[in-house]
Amino acid sequence: MAGPLVLRYPAPISFSALASKQVAPIRIRTSPDAQSWSNWRTLTPDPENPTASSLLWFGSGQRWIELESLSGEPYPLQLALIDPGVSLPAKSSARKADDTRPRVVSRIEWGCPDGDKQRGNNPSYAPVSHLIVHHTADGPISDYPAWIRAIWAFHVNSNGWADIGYNFLVAPDGTIFEGRAGGDNVIGAHFSCQNTGTLGVSLLGNFMRQPPTPEAFFSLEQVLRWQAARIGLNPLGEGLHAGSRLTLPRISSHRDGNSSPTTCTRTDCPGDVLYSQLPLLRWNVADWQSTGLWHKTTRRSLSAPEAFWFGDEATGTYDTPGQRSTGELVSPEFDLRADAVLRFATWHETENPTTDWDQKWVDYRLDGGEWRPLRQLDGIYREWVGQQIPLPYRGRLQLRFRFDTRDAAFNAFEGWYLDDIQVTPN
């Protein structure tokens, strides 16, 4: 029986990442000196190009490649070797066009080899109906502009596309980068051969088993809120995506196209953990309305980048003379078509360790009607406590969290925190 077939050859250039234009039962390792070798890596299909492999990172300064055929048979491979270089300090700060737009690092600033133009300078355009969330499923690399240049080289030089596939990319520190050139409504290459009508935002990294950083998640919210407002999309709505022939949430992910007969790949993107956070993401993008001392805060959060809090940031309490001692936090309106469950986490402190002086309610209303009580919460929580409330309703639903500090003159504790608020079907 033939054993594994190992081939070794020097690469013509120094490289740090590579991809193959074919997918075969091959594993690869690299070395800077033909003495110390990396761990073996297996070729896996690229989610956007099923005939090619995904991007593999091996660290800078690699010069030798060793390939092992897992079947003992030789396979033809055409490798793309990528050296994105080292990024220089930015010459100018990331740009911000207006108050509704987050700060974005331009293609010129992150060092795109084609500058602010697509290769061939012939972009295509179409109205956007859906915003698609991705992860790059590679890295991590601490030099974020170099990471993006490597993805650009992979998409352009290996896949043969005119430009990087994503419209925007978000780094772990929350920095937002401009992706495909062409501006508003330019068609990218990120939704399994059915890109028309979509805008793609990709988080740098792999989120199959771990969540994105709070900074990245917050910036993802910012990009999606900006684009949804620009286009006029309801972040909690859904609609037909013509190319895939699927009715999809307006904020969807790459894997949501898997069931379509017209898409060309099947993928786990954007990773299991990030995919599970999409309901929370949609709600945060739609944004909430608040009165009194309700606001978003990072002082204490559970798993999202921000929590909602009734309290004062400066004093750390809700004992604030002149401020309203009652406040409301009201959700966006959304369609409820089947039985669902409201889930959230709550943290509450009051001035008396044995007595809950404050009143906390959860209310609802249907189709713009009167507010009705859903549940009154009792008790003192000095740790995160999960809550589940059935929602056996149909129609346009809104939820409201109300807080009343009945003895505001004596309150000296932090107030009421809410986090991980989501509505999920039964």
What integer best gives the mean pLDDT of the chain? 89
Quick one: what percent of the chain has pLDDT higher than 90?
61
Judged by average pLDDT, the poorest of 139-148, 272-281, 384-393 is: 272-281
**Average confidence (pLDDT) over 262-290:** 91
Residue 1 pLDDT class (50, 70, 90 cuts): very low
Structural domains of the chain ordered from first start: 5-82 (no CATH), 107-284 (3.40.80.10), 288-425 (2.60.120.200)
Query: What confidence category does residue 99 fall into, taking pLDDT thresholds of 50, 70 and 90?
Result: low
- Per-residue pLDDT for 401 more than 60? yes
The answer to which of 95-104, 148-157, 278-287, 343-352 has the lowest mean pLDDT is 95-104
The pLDDT value given to residue 162: 95
b/e per residue 189-225 (b: at least 16 CB within 10 A): bbbbbbbbbbbbbbbbbbbeeebbbbebbbbbbbbbb
Question: What average pLDDT score do residues 403-413 get?
Answer: 68
**Which of the 8 DSSP states describes residue 410?**
G
Q: Which residues of 39-54 are buried (b: 16+ CB within 10 A; e: fewer)?
A: eebebeebbbbeebbb
Grouping H, G, I as helix, E, B as strand and the rest as coil, residue 247 is: strand
| Cα gap 97→185, rounded to integer Å | 17
Neighbours of 11 (CB within 10 A): 16
Predicted structure pTM score: 0.83
* Between residues 91 and 26, the one the model is more confident about: 26
Average confidence (pLDDT) over 353-377: 89
- SS3 (DSSP) at 107: helix
Percent of the chain with pLDDT over 70: 92
pLDDT at 96 over 70: no
pLDDT, residue 382, reads: 84
Q: What 3 state SS string does 139-173 have? A: CCCCCHHHHHHHHHHHHHHHCCCCCCCCCEEECCC
- Give Dmax (Cα) for the chain: 84
CB contact at 8 A, 170 and 177:
yes
Run of H or E residues at 215: helix 214-231
Q: Which two tokens stand for residue 382?
A: 């000095």
Other CB atoms within 10 Å distance of the CB of residue 414:
22
Three-state DSSP class for residue 418: strand
pLDDT at 44 over 50: yes
Assign residue 22 a region (left: φ > 0; alpha: ψ between -120 and 50; beta: otherwise): beta
pLDDT tens-digit map of 175-204: 999 999 999 999 999 999 999 999 999 999
According to the model, what pLDDT value does residue 70 have? 83
Closest CA to 212 of 110, 304, 105, 103: 304
Q: Report the alpha-carbon distance of residue 25 to residue 145 in Å, rounded.
A: 32
